Amino acid sequence: MDNKTLFGTILSLAIVIVMIANVQNASAFCLAFCAPQETQASPSTNTKLIVKSNTDWSATVMDKTGNLRTLSGSAGLTPIDIDCSFVYSANVQKYSELGTAIIALAKDGKILNQETTTAPYGIAQISGQCPR
Predicted local distance difference test score (pLDDT) of residue 46: 81
Rounded Cα–Cα distance for residues 52 and 73 (Å): 10
Going along the chain from its start, the domains and CATH numbers come out as 3-129 (2.60.60)
pTM: 0.65
Buried b (16+ CB within 10 A) or exposed e, 69-101: eeeebeeeebebebebbbbbbbbbbbbbeebeb
Rounded Cα–Cα distance for residues 19 and 112 (Å): 19
**Do 102 and 119 form a contact (C-beta atoms < 8 A)?**
no
Share of the chain above pLDDT 70, in %: 66
More confident position, 22 or 114: 114
Average pLDDT of the segment spanning 76-91? 88
Give pLDDT tens digits for 116-131. Answer: 999 999 999 999 988 8
